Amino acid sequence: MTPIMPKSDAAELIAAARIRKKLSWSDIADEIDAPLVWCVAALLGQHPMEAAQAERVCALLDLDTTVAESLQLQPSRGIDPAKLSDPTIYRFHEALAVYGPALKELIHEEFGDGIMSAINFNVDIKRREHPDGDRVVVTFDGKFLDYRW
């Protein structure tokens, strides 16, 4: 019996295969007909994939079944302190430091006491062209959950 390959190892093999085969993340998401951000998050280890999806990814990337097995594992998600200070990721957290309390006020004003779900939730990223320089547009879309006893 061997342990199942950790998702972090699977993610490294996927990264290597993707780069060497010159495939974009969109190519992979299209192959398995999945939303783009979800698909990347899953391949990086944040969501379990179904067997058929995992196998098609591995076929596309010439990776063996140990990777496909790993992709189907239930993940242990969590906040990784080492990733918080990467500048590309940090800017999102900084924006929440500046605007988070305002978003909290407005959620409570509009919906009442509760939260935006991070589980019944999706996120999208788009490029918006702009004469002063193109823009990154990221949309968080989560079900409102009210404190309900």
Backbone angles phi, psi at 100, to 5 degrees: -55, -50
Q: What is the DSSP letter of 77?
A: -
The nearest distance, CB 32 to its own copies, in angstroms, is: 13
Q: Which is nearer to its own copies, 31 or 48 (CB)?
A: 48
The nearest distance, CB 25 to its own copies, in angstroms, is: 6
Alpha-carbon gap, residue 128 to 79, rounded angstroms:
29
Active site residue 117: yes
Are the beta carbons of 144 and 115 closer than 8 angstroms?
yes
Q: Is 52 in the site for its own copies (CB under 8 A)?
A: no
Active site residue 94: yes
The nearest distance, CB 114 to its own copies, in angstroms, is: 6
Active site residue 128: no
Q: Is 23 in the site for its own copies (CB under 8 A)?
A: no
Residues in region 87-126 near its own copies by CB under 8 A: 87-111, 113-123, 125
User: By CB under 8 A, how many residues form the interface with its own copies?
Assistant: 99
DSSP assignment of 15-76: HHHHHHTT--HHHHHHHHT--HHHHHHHHTTSSPPPHHHHHHHHHHHT--HHHHHHHTSPP-
Q: Is 22 in the site for its own copies (CB under 8 A)?
A: no
Q: Is 4 in the site for its own copies (CB under 8 A)?
A: yes
Q: From the candidates 12, 91, 105, 135, which is the catalytic residue? A: 91
Q: Is 129 in the site for its own copies (CB under 8 A)?
A: no
Which residues, other chains included, contact 100 with Cβ-Cβ below 8 Å and sequence gap of 6+? none
Give the up-direction half-sphere exposure of residue 23: CA atoms within 13 A in the CB hemisphere.
20
Q: From the candidates 20, 26, 50, 94, which is the catalytic residue? A: 94
